[in-house]
Chain A
Amino acid sequence: MAVIEVRVTNRPFLPDPPGEEILYEIRHALGINTIERVRTARVFRFEGIDADTARVLAEKLLAEDVFQIYTIDAPIIRDARVVVEVAYKPGVMNPEAASLIKAARDLGITGLVAADSSREFGFYGPEISDRDVEMILDRLLVNDTVERVIREKPATLLISGLKGHTAVIPLTQMKDEELMDLSRDSLFLNLEEMRAIQDYFRLTGREPTDCEVETLAQTWSEHCGHKTFKARLVVNGKEKKPLLKRLQEATAAANHPLVLSAFVDNSGVMAFYDGWAICGKVETHNSPSAIEPYGGAATGSGGVFRDIMGTGQGARVIASTDMFCFAPPDTPREEIPPGCLSPHYLLRRVVAGVRDYGNRMGIPTNNGSVHFHRDFRAKPTVIVGAYGILPVERCQKGRPRPGDLAVVIGGRTGRDGIHGATFSSGEMTHRTTEVNASAVQIGHPIEEKRMADAIVAASEAGLIRAITDCGAGGFASALGEMGEETGVRVWLERAPLKYQGLKPWEIWLSESQERMVLAVAPENRDRLLEICRRLNVEATVLGEFTGDRRLLVTYGEETVCDLDMQFLHHGLPQRVLSARWQPPELEDPRLPLPENWEETCCRILGHLNVCSKEPIVRMYDHGVQGSCGLPPFGGVNGNGPNDAVVLTPLPGNPAAVIIAHGLNPVLNRIDPYHGSLWAAAEAVSNAVAAGADPAELVLIDNFIWPFPDEESLGALDRAVDACVDFVRATGMPFISGKDSLSSTYRGTGGLVIKIPPVLCVSVFGRLPDVARTVSADFKGPDHTLVLVGKRHLPEMAGSVYYDLAGYLGKNMPRIDLQTVPVVWKILHRAIQEDKILSCHDISHGGLAAALAEMCFGGQVGAHIAIPADVRPDYFLFNETAGCFLVEMAPGVDPAMAFAGIPHLVLGKTALSTEIAVERGGQPLFRISLALLKQAWQRPMNEVFGTVENRG
């Protein structure tokens, strides 16, 4: 039956916010000034109904007469110079389609077989050229990976396809070159690994199926197998233990009493209060986000939420975090390598992806940061974290028993996301966007929300024996992993599909989102299916755990995969990698003192790594769940940043979770050892500044590194050593972590771009009472200000101050692991004793930035004195982590409160609108807070085009 179209748009006299948003981007991001106005319309297509029925749908569902008009099978934007329609490509799941079909059914409409929706844009302006439109489509509106321009009405909305078949790969006789040809672009295995597969099948006496080869490639991918972290390392000629082993041994040695589960489950778990436990996991989604930032970031959030949901026998997600690294948004187009997207677009779309997934799931996104460096222009770093709560009695990783059923719940399986695991393990090249188009997809947060509710209900009913999510590698990874100890038998033809035409290996490897696999005892099957049915969650018994330690997958009569679990999980040859570390040749600049302090301070505050990220935070729902006890921004006008988030996840109970993080990629270019210590110290300092007890914090590591060649691996080795030393010195263990070692870009003509190595350290912990926490906004005038912590002022390398002068520098902040734990302990005690009104950790931009931010929050000024014997610029802009600016409660003696740790009384808060600085008794400079604040807020206001400056 024919396709019928309904178009809907706002009445002409009403504003069109999406159109205005696009117009803003056209002007600001693309610099095109020929467009005077943009109008948008929705296009809905239906198959199987007639025009009268479409009219009913239009009036009852699609168009609201109060503010909208509609047409049927006719244009609706008639007066624009150009009208274009952008839709998802066929096969990319449009989450709205299911709602259209449901609502039509609710309205009593029968016969509808398919529905779709898309968006139409009308461009106004007499001077518009075809080139302008092409550029707008190309750079702004159409992401080729998932979208296309519709030029004529499609004949059908149905995706047809025949059942796919399994192919046999004649692998056993292949020569080395043929093996590598097979590996390239899809398997990403090296020759030794390909030969191991060849040997296995030679011994087995048959050729592998496509499904078997793909399953091995996925399980052995860097993404899933962590080959580098498990490799034997030879560093500068000396053999060292594998990186992962060092981290795990440090955690074991720390023997922290609150840790309940470390490195074994989908997230790390620590004890909370009253029989509850909390868990945390942080993931990266760099590769998908680089080519489709919205879908990539959204599904990154979705994936890490499922890691939490799949911890123990099921957890409830209570927080979402996001840490990004991009090139500066104003990087000129010609500096962006071919095959890569503009950082302005990436930043906006990544933020939108995280926003839409978290907000819709109802998970507060309330801790994060954005970092900028030119060398993220080929591949951004997109880190997403999630935290959860679960009962202690169900917090240990479950093990399926033979006879248990493997039940898949949630969304259906499609072709989307195939090869995600192997893809993200490969380097990015100028061919990446072409070859790996199927490796990204659109997320469906409502599907995941339903599933999350079902999991909590099933968990409370005690129906879940084990659970894991279908992340990278899909069923192959989930079932392969769950069945490792037992074996598993899978009937693949039972998998619910989005459309026909998938080959068995595609069903098996598909990374369609919002699916999880549960191991359920047979006697609990019906109760589980009933819970799912009531919550509109599809659930299917896909297989059964056996006792034969084989992975046996059939599709109808066909055997598509029959592998020995031992070979699958332990057949991967351990790599022996060689690493080399040499300090880079760097020098410290000799900078004159600033002549114009006002200008210098404004440039510091307006630096991309210092400036306010409030426009981003305001788009995230950080208050949902009613749990927020310390928001990302607070203070009198809600624009003073805080260092950590404090949540009360149990309604009515003051027990709190605290979450923070730290990273500073540029420092790792100087020395990854001290850069990594800085990141860990910064993470913990952020938490302690808000009131965390350093004795009750645990850590999560995320290494996002260039491809591990000798040099990058040498850097990684030093970073891991730093983490281990940090655990030894502080007693805080890492209990979860992830590595992503593919952030190198190789273009044509020998262009190689490596990101600055990123170690992101996340930290979380518990507090008995939310009321014993502090915020960073000054609470009033005339309060004593104290700088707490140990700094060596000439350690300025990697600072924003040096960066503004065009230098990286050599002498970087070195965290003193003897002093910093004592500083945390004493500061924590002072907060508990109510001696401190506000506290802010010192990081990017140094003391000056911290002081300014505290003034903004409290709407008070400050008067501080710099000792006569130090350089005032270093004093103000040094960025040593583990130092704090503190506002003392009246009547408290700093010498008593901070006895035994380095501290310096700086001055006082003041009933004024400026910061006044003196040195050696003489005024040095004074600067208006309004001016500073404007400089601090401008960069992100420009990128995100807030209403105020649209004017």
Chain B
Amino acid sequence: MVLRTDGTNCDRETFHAFALAGGEPRMVHINQLRAGEEKLADYHILVIPGGFSYGDDVHSGKILAVELTSFLQEQLQEFVDAGKPVLGICNGFQVLVRTGLLPAARMGEIRAALIANDSGRFECRWVNLRVEDTRCVFTRGLAGRVLNLPVAHGEGKFYTGEDTLQEIEQAGQVVFRYAGPGGEPTGDYPQNPNGSLNAIAGICDPAGRVLGLMPHPERFVERTQHPNWRRHIFSEPLGLAIFKNGVDYARQI
């Protein structure tokens, strides 16, 4: 299920990415879920795509997070507890954090935040991401690799208290870090485009089935989407593997 609402704007390319990865995506508007016309339980994998849900008013992703927590808490929690994978990209990541599904997979427990970039502005650029060795189902077989993917956000600085930070580090929940060209994590602008703590670009829940990340893997599922495809650097579009992993995992359950 590609979940849409007012201001979602990366839904079509996310849909395409899942289709390319062998999935059978469907677009569902949150109004359909609220009206009971569609049920989360009928789906195997959920993605909250990027965009500016409700204009990112108050905080990025906040109004949608409040809506999900108010009306769909049960359905969502059941979906996650049933072991079905959830992916949040950019605004979707912000929503997952603001519902509590990340980092602890518990709705209503907000323990981290994505806050305004240190640069104070929206940044659109390609960055290097180191894939950590984790239980995350979306990055199977990718550990240790350096992916090149675009970011496009104004509020992407991963921030949390010292305790939570240690907890997610120790539990191996940090899936992606902003990195230099050699894969070393970095706090330097612009390689780390927002000033995220510990260079964190994406995290998963303890079970590794809920993944949120600020970069946009759906924008690199075709070779010619890379700004330098003419330089023949990559043999494959690096974002696609994340969707393939998600679809493959969802098929098994």
Contact = CB atoms under 8 A, between A and B. Distances in A.
A625 B57 CA distance: 22
Contact of B119 (A62, A770, A946): A946
Given A648-B224, A947-B119, A106 B10 contact: no
Contacts of A871: none
Interface stretch (B48-56, B77-85, B171-179, B201-209): B48-56
A634 interface: yes
A652 B16 contact: yes
B87 to A, nearest CB: 16
Contacts of A620: 122, 124
Interface stretch (A97-105, A320-328, A515-523, A898-906): A97-105
Contacts of B9: 360-362, 449, 624-625
A61 B58 contact: yes
B6 interface: yes
A446 B4 CA distance: 13
Contacts of B113: 64, 66-67
Nearest to A950: B119
Given A103-B63, A449-B7, A775 B230 contact: yes
A21 interface: yes
Given A18-B116, A619-B123, A362 B67 contact: no
A624 B221 contact: no
A107 B58 contact: no
Contacts of A624: 9-10, 13, 50, 152, 219
Contacts, number: 185
B112 interface: yes
Contact of B67 (A95, A106, A621, A636): A106
B230 A626 contact: no
A779 B55 contact: no
A629 interface: yes
B79 to A, nearest CB: 20
Contact of A17 (B54, B116, B216): B116
A15 interface: yes
A638 B224 contact: no
Contact of A446 (B6, B10, B67, B150): B6
A65 B112 CA distance: 9
B224 A622 contact: no
Contacts of A61: 58, 62, 66
Contacts of A103: 54, 58, 62-63, 66-67
Interface in B37-92: 50-52, 54-59, 62-63, 66-67, 70-71
Candidate in A95, A449, A771 with the most chain B CB atoms within 10 angstroms: A449
Interface in B206-247: 216, 218-219, 221-222, 224-225, 227-231
Contacts of A99: 54-55, 57-58, 63
Interface in A498-535: 534-535
Given A106-B67, A108-B70, A623-B216, A446 B110 contact: no
A619 B121 contact: yes
B118 interface: yes
A912 to B, nearest CB: 19
Interface in B97-130: 98, 110-113, 115-126
A17 B58 contact: no
Interface string B161-182: 1000000000000000000000
A618 B29 contact: no
B21 interface: no
A770 B111 contact: no
A771 B228 CA distance: 12
Nearest to A44: B58
A17 B224 CA distance: 35
B52 A20 contact: no
A446 B54 contact: yes
A631 interface: yes
Contact of A625 (B13, B32, B124): B13
Contact of A65 (B66, B110, B189, B216): B110
A362 B124 CA distance: 13
Given A61-B62, A534-B29, A652-B16, A638 B70 contact: no
A96 to B, nearest CB: 4
Nearest to A774: B230
Contacts of B143: none
A66 B225 contact: no
B125 A652 contact: no
B122 A355 contact: yes
B227 A96 contact: no
A107 B70 CA distance: 6
B216 A651 contact: no
Interface string A104-130: 001110000000010000000000000
Given A17-B117, A106-B67, A947-B189, A445 B159 contact: no
A331 interface: no
Interface in A451-503: none
Interface string A604-625: 0000000000000111111111
A20 B195 CA distance: 14
A362 B189 contact: no
B112 A95 contact: no
B20 interface: yes
A933 to B, nearest CB: 16
A202 interface: no
Candidate in B19, B32, B57, B161 with the most chain A CB atoms within 10 angstroms: B57
B6 A449 contact: yes
Given A634-B227, A779-B230, A102 B121 contact: no
Interface in A927-949: 946-948
B162 to A, nearest CB: 12
B120 A17 contact: yes
Given A62-B58, A99-B58, A359 B122 contact: yes
B160 interface: yes
Contacts of A534: 29, 31-32
A948 B189 contact: yes
B127 to A, nearest CB: 10
A654 B224 contact: yes
Nearest to A62: B58
B45 to A, nearest CB: 19
Nearest to A651: B16
A829 interface: no
Contacts of A359: 52, 122, 152
Candidate in A10, A17, A654 with the most chain B CB atoms within 10 angstroms: A17
B26 interface: no
A400 to B, nearest CB: 29
A777 B230 CA distance: 10
B251 interface: no
Nearest to A944: B121
Contacts of A360: 7, 9, 52, 55-56
Candidate in B7, B10, B62, B216 with the most chain A CB atoms within 10 angstroms: B7
Interface in A626-645: 626-629, 631, 633-636, 638
A617 B125 CA distance: 10
Interface string A8-26: 0010001101101100000
25 contacts: A17-B117, A17-B118, A17-B120, A65-B110, A66-B160, A66-B161, A103-B63, A103-B67, A106-B66, A106-B67, A359-B152, A360-B7, A360-B9, A362-B10, A444-B55, A619-B124, A620-B122, A622-B124, A624-B219, A628-B225, A648-B222, A648-B224, A652-B222, A654-B224, A947-B189
Interface of B: 6-10, 12-13, 15-17, 19-20, 29, 31-32, 50-52, 54-59, 62-63, 66-67, 70-71, 98, 110-113, 115-126, 150, 152, 159-161, 189-190, 195, 216, 218-219, 221-222, 224-225, 227-231
Closest 9 pairs between A and B when the two form their complex, measured CB to CB: A362-B9, A626-B13, A17-B120, A99-B57, A651-B16, A21-B120, A446-B55, A621-B152, A106-B70
Given A66-B159, A360-B7, 15 more contacts: A10-B115, A61-B58, A61-B66, A103-B54, A103-B67, A359-B52, A359-B152, A534-B29, A618-B123, A625-B13, A648-B222, A648-B224, A652-B222, A654-B224, A947-B119
